[in-house]
Structure 1
Amino acid sequence: MNPSIIPSTLKSRVTRWIALPSLLILLPNYLAFAAITTCPAGYISDEFSNTDYSNLGSTASPPILGVNQLLNGLKSESYIIASNSLITTGNLDAGGSNFYRPKTLAGNLQSFEFFQDFTNKGSSRTASYTFKNSFTNESQALNNVSLSIYDIDVNYIGSTSSGTRYFEFSDQVTITGVTSSGTSVTPTLKYRGTGITTTAPYRQTTTTSSVLCSTDSVDEKCKVSVAFDQPVVRVDVTYGNNPDLNYYDFSNLGNPGDQLINIVFDGYCYLPQPRLTYTKALSTSRKTNTDQFTVQIKDNADNSVVTSGITSVTTTGTNNAVTTGTGTTGTFKVNPTKTYTLTEAVSGSTNLADYTALYACRKSDGTSVSTLDPKNLKLTYGDNWTCTITNGRSNYVFSGTVFNDNGNVLNPSKDDISSKYLNNSLYFNGKYDSPTESGIPFTTGHTITLNKCTGDSGTFSPQTVNIGNDGTYSFSLTPAQVGSYTRLCVTQNEPSNYTYSVDTTSNVLQIDITNSKYNYPSNDFGDVVQENAALVLIKSQYVHDCSLNNLATIGVNYDGSASSAYSTKPISNIIPGQCIAYRIEAINRGNVSLADIVIKDTLQSKNDSNSSLITSTLANPTPIGENSGTPSFATNSVSIGNNGTVTTNSFSLGTTTTTRRQAIRFNTKYGTTISN
């Protein structure tokens, strides 16, 4: 005979449902849905859509689970396939509820409602989510998978006269993942309700009372959120009861009652399906204005035209103009396991034999696809290419962009050596990093000249064009104009009032001409404003009593915190007859090596209006370069005891931590009167 159980106040199987309306009143205070998942560069953040919960869940009991369901997500990438499965350890109560169904929680939050009735406290059930790739039908790893479990609560029923406590249920959940290699991984805990355990299995820590949360609520005290820091191909959520407690359900000792949790996939990351845009351009006028072209992309597997259903692929326009919105496929997704051919067809009486075809593709970051075979085009996940076929009547096209090579540094400063410069790989690197960097707008007199290169013989008619408002320029030449030249040079001509006066590339670029190649893009010129120049000079000083005999013994702290340190702080209370040792450091904060650097520093003299009429002379010890004598000092540098200019020989600065800095030191003495 079952022992008599003394009910706890307002705690019973029925109480679980009676308490719901009162708890629902408190819901607005508990709503705290997950933020958008942060993804690595190039990945997209996504989450299950309402349809995904419906396709994978089931309203039947027992549930009929979704298998190989294409995830809609919120980004419609349409290549991730998900499947559900349920594995039971122990037994389910035949008369109890057995649901795994889509459920809308408070605040319109979609979830999987995992509703079970176990026969004993050792029974559990695991809901598994596996992910595959629809193109390959192989496992697909997802990054930064994060999920939340709601309604992890406990219902205390009462105790026997001997003091044994009984519960209707005490939810516990364990979450694990599986990598592509089959390794089991544990997620990182991101959030837990105050009374929930800090490690798996996650459950309420109380063993003496109830913690009840309303069904369909998002009550934070019954919530756990986790995220995987490794890519996973499967996620397992194992649900059961705390095995350390005793259970009672309608006269059945040891039998937990109906219980549920809600599973929500907060987000995950993956590389997007590759995107391709194919457009038409004309470098010369049409032979006749009725000539029009249709761009096509063919599937190499069966030679089918995959763009046949797109209405904008045929051009309109006259001369060399293509009407905006025509002659383009627009952006569409391609199969990363296939190869494609870029081609074109004609409209009306157009004869392709009258035109040459040049193909060029640029990636989403603005860089050109260096090795391009338009008959064997293959893109992979994360790619987003814009390919252009340029028709011309046997013309050569030379083009490029004059760009601001500032690496998107805002509020530039000529003396700034902070991380926004030193840790910025895009700043001053001589490369056009679009879209982070942009073209420099046109300034009157800013032109580009195409000419033969210095030293080449023959007759070539140079051409000059203005740069566009977006910094671009282009030349179109007939084969007769190019002649037998195997190279040409483009020169940037900067106006005298040009704000971007510091070059990050040479102002003369050589273009090598090869047979059967007509399009020569990406001949780019990099410039920055003076405040964004790569070379930074820092001058600091150390005031002393002229007893110094070794410049290398002085510290190099710039903040003046040590008495024997150089400081960039202004000198005050200098007394004629004292000495000042100087340190000048040259720093390359850019990503291009600098050469032929010369440091010059003119010592103060009575003719210098800023020197208070006191002459400074070079003093012993002999000036030194900090890097084993480098930089060295020129033969015409001021000598000891004289006033003049300290001058170094030319030196270079690299781009690595050990090569981007060089410094010199020299000592000076102030005269004791204004006359010497």
Structure 2
Amino acid sequence: MEKTKYSLGYRNSYVLQQYRCLLSIFTGFIILLFISNTAFALATNPGAVCSNGFSQGSLTNADYTNLVSAVNTNNYVNILGNAGGSIPLQVKMTTVESSTNTVKSNFGVITTAGTSAINIQRTFPNISAYTDIIFDFRNALTSQPIYLTNVALSAFDIDYANSNGNTFDDFVEITGVTQAGSTISGTLQPITGSNIVFGQPPQGLQGLFTRTASDPNCTAKNLGTQCQGSVQFSQPVASVKVRYTNTGYLNSATNQEIDLRVDNYCYVPQYIFTGTVFDDNGGITAAQANATNDDITSSGSIYTNKPNYFNGVFNSPQESGISGSTVKLVNCANTATTYATQIVNTGSPIGQYQFSVPIATFNNNTNICLIEEYSGTAYPIRTTSDNKNTGFTTTTYLYSNNDFGRVIAANAALVLKKAQYINNCPNTLNYTDPSLNTANNGDPKTGFSTGSISNMTPGQCIAYRITATNRANIGINNFVMKDILQKQGVNGATVTSVLTNPPLSTTDYTISENPAIGVNGEIKTKSLTLTSRSKRDFYFNTKYGTTVDTQ
């Protein structure tokens, strides 16, 4: 029994030791696995930070795919980003090879644990050959360079190999171009657990490479921390160049690869207001313009079938911008509060203006207007309002096509023509009688005519037809026609005329605001609207030759 007990205890002890050994191995495997996963996990670039007032962005997985698909096409790609539209970014990506003998194995997108990066595989013909990957940044709203702050990038799988059939020593140089046009290097951002250092190897460049030749190779395409090198630019840049090559420590190079990510960029959101002050002539040149041409229907008239003339819309290229104006960005409620002022372009594109301002400019006001002021004399007539409300909201960053139209005097919308008819002062007179309104009548004694009056007998009457023609493609509001009856001694008049029957039309005139029958004075219509491309006639009758001042 004791022996049996002893043997059983021995076996239990042996099994326990085996179990402990297996548990130790399993635990060690788990620890190694955990350490391995930690070592090969992408680390956040410490330079991925933005100051207060800046929007922060980075490329999405879709952005990497779109960029790679457009590489070397000279096309800018709209960046989706993750900044909610506050950073209007476009990027053009280009690669440049130093040698035509470089084997370009791959330039594509990899995705590891849901995170994408650009993968570059190369077999260089020698250790000094390189591939440049260039990112050019552009404002999607203005198509001008955009200078991004705290641009941060990371390169992965920067490692070393010196074995049969596999020899390379990765080196990555990352530089940017500032607003001053100078080239600066990215500043190393230390990554915990990374073997990558920043320095100057024999190649003479400043960049990222493996700390020592004894560091192990990294697993490709896994964005591991051990071979991650991260940088950030200390100044705003509009272009970044990543040069992939070798350190120069080894004498030869074989197939090698790295992965790239754009980790961060910052930008103060700008609200952009653009427009053009333009000649709203619809293609009717100064040589063709005629201030007295009221023909808007005949095929031979320059003002017939001109839908873009005086329509308040900038119709390019038929119409062009004009110089001489100043545009102000103001508080609508108090236009004396001016946020920005700009003289429109005198060169190409002529007449254009553009404001780009941060939200802080408005001091929490959202009622923003644009005002145009003209200092010249060539284009005195407006075709649009001089004050435009932009409809500003903090979530909209582009306010384009805030255009202001003008025309020369000869292209004015309104043409007034006065015709007269000598009559014998009947109590009733049918102004619209077709026999009195024949076209091209040259005798004012037979009907309304623009011909001159002669042999007028005192005591006769002169009826007037004033035709207002709106040649424009927009209505004329608040139109008031005024005509002052002649008065003896005023402007050389030898006699006085007075208003006579028939009474003024109450449709066109306010009776109380006009002279009474038999009284001299000013004839004035109501405030009316002349619709676009329309004519309207106004009539009144006067008795000619009164020598007594009735007022």
**TM-score, normalised relative to structure 2:** 0.49
Bigger radius of gyration, 1 or 2?
2
More contact order relative to length (CA 8 Å, sep ≥ 6): 2
**TM-score, normalised relative to structure 1:** 0.41
